[in-house]
Amino acid sequence: MLSVTNVEARYGAILALRDISLTVEEGELVALVGSNGAGKTTTLAVIAGLHRASRGAVVFEGKSLAGRAPEDVARLGISMVPENRGVFPTLTVAENLRLGSYLRRDGEVARDLERLQERFPVLGERASQAAGTLSGGEQQQLAIARALISRPRLLMLDEPSLGLAPTLVDRVFELVAELHREGVTILLVEQNVRRTLEVADRAYLLRTGRVEASGRPAELRALVDIESVYLGGARRPGEQAGGRAGGSP
């Protein structure tokens, strides 16, 4: 479904992504994990058309995304929930949700809104309330619901649990797992590596703009002490704990 091949991206003179390659197949939940500054958010931004790659290819369902504006990428069926949630604070909850359906031309938007309000009851209860007055957890629910109302072929989530209380983090991961079981294809960026590997089909470990390792969660754990990435001391794939790959401590 999605193929990212040898993508390079810059912020001025700073090279943010270095030959990033990854794939997402239909129905998969694929995760990007790594420390802050590893390039996870930039990867999503390149896919979504929010940041231009300086080299490489991004192809979605056989169509190149090179040079496409974000609205054109959305028309192809990719929806992104940004790290900062991106709700329109002065608009109501209902207005935010309607904005998520602006590309749709079918007659089932009202039905989908009803279903989303069943899934996220607080959004129905606060439909006329300004989005900026919601709590962080409620805004995250709104951002995810707004993405889902577009009926995306690929849903990209950037740090959906960031800044939430533990009980709300649990709910976010339950929701991600539910959507996956329902057949939604998901590309997930998350800082909670343990919980992420519990729900993902496959994962890519990013480090300083490169793919350091990839595979199914069990394979990735065997390759690298992935949680220590966040402490800056992860061993590289193939290294023995305490020494270089194939060498002595």
Say whether both 34 and 129 belong to one domain. no
Say whether both 63 and 9 belong to one domain. yes
Helix, strand, coil shares, percent, the chain, to 5 = 35, 25, 40
- Sorted by sequence, the CB contacts under 8 Å of residue 52 that are 6+ apart come out as 9, 46, 67
pLDDT tens for residues 18-73? 999 999 999 999 999 988 888 999 999 999 999 999 999 999 999 999 989 999 99
Tokens at residue 162, please? Answer: 């960031």
Q: How many CA atoms, within 13 angstroms, populate the side-chain half-sphere of residue 18? A: 11
Contact 64, 112 (CB under 8 A): no
Say whether both 36 and 143 belong to one domain. no
pLDDT tens for residues 184-206? 999 999 888 888 999 999 999 99
Domain-located, residue 249: no
Give the total number of structural domains in the chain.
2
Domain-located, residue 243: no
pTM of the predicted model as reported, rounded to 2 decimal places: 0.87
> Which has the closest alpha carbon to 196: 227, 150, 240?
227
Tokens at residue 98, please? Answer: 């309607």
Domain-located, residue 246: no
Say whether both 18 and 140 belong to one domain. no
* Domain-terminating residue out of 96, 131, 151: 151
Domain-located, residue 234: yes
Q: What is the mean pLDDT of residues 203-222?
A: 91
